[in-house]
Amino acid sequence: MKKLGWLVMALPLSAMAGEVVDYSSNGMALEGYYAAAEGDAKGAVILIHDWDGLTGYEQKRVDMLSSMGYNTFAVDLYGKGNRPIDTNAKKAEVGKLYKDREKMRTLILAGLDKAREMGVEDVVVAGYCFGGAATLELARSGKGSGINGYATFHGGLSTPNDQSYPKNTAPIFVSHGGADSSIPMSDVADLSEELEVAGIPYLIEVYSGAPHAFTVFESPRYREVADKRSWATFTGFLEENL
């Protein structure tokens, strides 16, 4: 079993701390993953998956957060049983949601509503890759109550021409790889300028040598230093905003 200091990389299924949760949005069957905080809850996190759909990666992150004292719910934006494997299928799924951003927001809010049913109150919304872009989509919508912050890990950062961030948007944390060839540094600069002009609190960290998807365990793109640093900052972000 490969280890990374504070994290066991390959958790057996029996070690999973959470549970699969069935819910729906406008008649669409969805399957999330929830883990209650160990001990007294410090707050809650809503986690949005990358373009693979909700897989073991998000489940591990949910379990990590629950062990830190956060009720955590990973939402499903693809639909129950829809977990694309090949690249073209993944592109097709994210493409559908980028073309129908209202549906994307509705699906995120359905997950937030389900978390509320389970007793979740104030939350930070966070996402990886596509999930990071979806997190910022929600932030720009201004929808969803009790959201204390947004966090994106190597996610898309550009703002559609017909959108902007409301003045009352909660603080935003952006973690970005300096060697990310999918999301250019110009997008990072544009976002920082946009948030600065809007007066929205934000923190952006850029990690040298880190490519796109640098947090994905056991991937060729995984970078231990960038993953640890981004997680440490995220931990502080949660403590400040929950």
> What is the per-residue pLDDT across 9-37, written as a single tens digit (0 to 9) for each?
334 434 568 999 999 999 999 999 999 99
Can you tell me the mean pLDDT for 192-210? 98
Return the percentage of the chain with pLDDT > 90, whole number.
91
| pLDDT at 85 exceeding the cut of 90 | yes
Chain segment 113-148, per-residue pLDDT in tens: 999 999 899 999 999 999 999 999 999 999 998 999
Say what the pTM is. 0.93
| pLDDT at 8 exceeding the cut of 90 | no
Can you tell me the mean pLDDT for 164-178? 97
CATH number of 18-241: 3.40.50.1820
Long-range contacts for 16-25 (Cβ within 8 Å, ≥24 apart)?
16/59, 16/63, 17/62, 17/63, 17/66, 17/67, 18/59, 18/62, 18/63, 18/66, 18/72, 21/73, 21/114, 21/118, 22/80, 23/110, 23/111, 23/114, 24/110, 25/106, 25/107, 25/110
pLDDT score, position 17: 80
pLDDT score, position 15: 57
Instruction: Tell me 37's DSSP state.
Output: P
Can you tell me the mean pLDDT for 182-188? 97
Arithmetic mean of pLDDT over the chain: 93
Nearest to 71 by CA among 29, 19, 30, 24: 19
